[in-house]
Amino acid sequence: MESIFFRRGLVMRLANGFTLIELMVVLAIIGVIMSVVLTGQSTFNKTLILQNTAYDIALTLRNAETYGLGSRAASAISNSGYGVHFGIGTPGFLTLFADIYPAPSLFSCHPTSDASAPDAQPGDCTYTEGQDQKVTEYALGNGITVSDFCAFNGDWSCAHAQDGSLSSLDIVFARPNPDTFIRADGSSYMAACLVVSSLQGGEKYIFVSSSGEIAANASSCP
């Protein structure tokens, strides 16, 4: 008899539903889970966007390499090299350019004793605004910038880190030389490193060597 009453009481209790305290506990648990999921998703999205931007910059460098080694004509000028320009005053932008200025000469970064020779190349491996041909200017967006760039020639020099002496960096490719021309403030270097940063936090590093290596997942910059 008691078991019958117990079962009836249990059924009635279940029929009455959850108590207010039970509902509050369940909602609190759901809120905590949603907060963890949304925070993790936000962090993942920021990391993914930053990583994709680093790969996009590396791809732009590869495009410059393809144009330069393929001798794509620019402004009716053949044999021009192509490069990517980074400036300390425009951290949210990078410029893909054709290195057509100055005309071929003995003192350019592609020296020739005969400026009229078919293989004579223009350019000084440095972007000169208003003289070189600007192919495309890329805006990085999403609060992402090239927050620093460095160049190596026995020692590292950077725009902000180290001695903070650099104001510009140009990475140029030109046929028939498979090597990369790395120039910073008019001087030649053996390697370069770019720091890609997000305002929401996080950094990615792109390493470029004079042998043509471009790594979008470098471990660090100086």
pLDDT tens figures, 186-206: 999 999 999 999 998 899 999
Quick check: is 19 in a domain? no
Report if residue 10 sits inside a domain. no
Does pLDDT of 11 surpass 60? no
In a domain, residue 18? The reply is no
Taking only the tens place, the pLDDT of each residue in 12-27 is: 454 555 677 777 777 7
**Sign of CA pseudo-dihedral 73, 76, 81, 84:** negative
Q: Averaging pLDDT over each range in 25-39, 104-118, 137-151, 172-186, which range is the top one?
A: 137-151
Q: Strand 203-209 vs strand 168-174: parallel, antiparallel, or unpaired?
A: unpaired
C-beta separation of 204 from 194 below 8 A: no
Calculate mean pLDDT across residues 174-183. Answer: 90
The CATH number of residue 49's host domain is 3.55.40.10
Measured CA to CA in angstroms, residue 103 lies from 115, 134, 213 at distances of 8, 17, 28
Residue with tokens 């770019």: 194
Query: Residue 67 above 70 pLDDT?
Result: yes
pLDDT at 194: 98
- How much is the pLDDT for 45? 55
| Average pLDDT of the chain, as a whole number | 86
Q: Considering the domain boundaries, does residue 187 fall inside one?
A: yes
Position with higher pLDDT, 71 vs 212: 212
Is 173 a domain residue?
A: yes
Q: According to the model, what pLDDT value does residue 39 have?
A: 53
- Of 157, 201, 181, which Cα lies nearest the Cα of 81? 181
Check residue 37 and give its pLDDT: 55
Backbone dihedral angles phi then psi of residue 66, each to the nearest 5 degrees: -60, -45
Place of tokens 């020739």: 112
Taking only the tens place, the pLDDT of each residue in 121-160 is 999 999 999 999 999 999 999 999 999 999 999 999 999 9
For residue 115, pLDDT beyond 80:
yes
Q: What is the arithmetic mean of pLDDT over 170-177? A: 92
Can you list the positions of beta strands (E) in 77-218? 81-87, 93-99, 133-139, 144-152, 156-158, 168-174, 177-184, 187-189, 191-198, 203-209, 214-218
Q: What's the token pair of residue 177?
A: 């030389």
Number of independent structural domains in the chain: 1
Domain span at residue 32 reads: 27-218
Percent of the chain surpassing pLDDT 90: 60
Distance from chain centroid for Cα 189: 20
Nearest 10 degrees: Cα torsion 60, 169, 136, 122:
-100
Taking every pair of Cα atoms in the chain, the longest distance, rounded to a whole number of angstroms, is: 115
Q: Is the pLDDT of residue 85 over 60?
A: yes
At 16 the pLDDT is 54
Give, for 46, the enclosing helix (H) or strand (E): helix 20-69
Segment 31-56, tens digit of pLDDT: 777 666 555 445 545 789 999 999 99
pLDDT for residue 41: 47
Cis omega before residue 111 (within 30°)?
no
In a domain, 116, yes or no: yes
Is residue 78 within 8 Å of residue 133, measured between CB atoms?
no
83-100 average pLDDT score = 97
Residue 196 tokens read as 């890609």
Quick one: pLDDT at residue 156? 96
* Contact between 197 and 92 (Cβ < 8 Å): no
Tokens representing residue 26 in the block: 């369940």
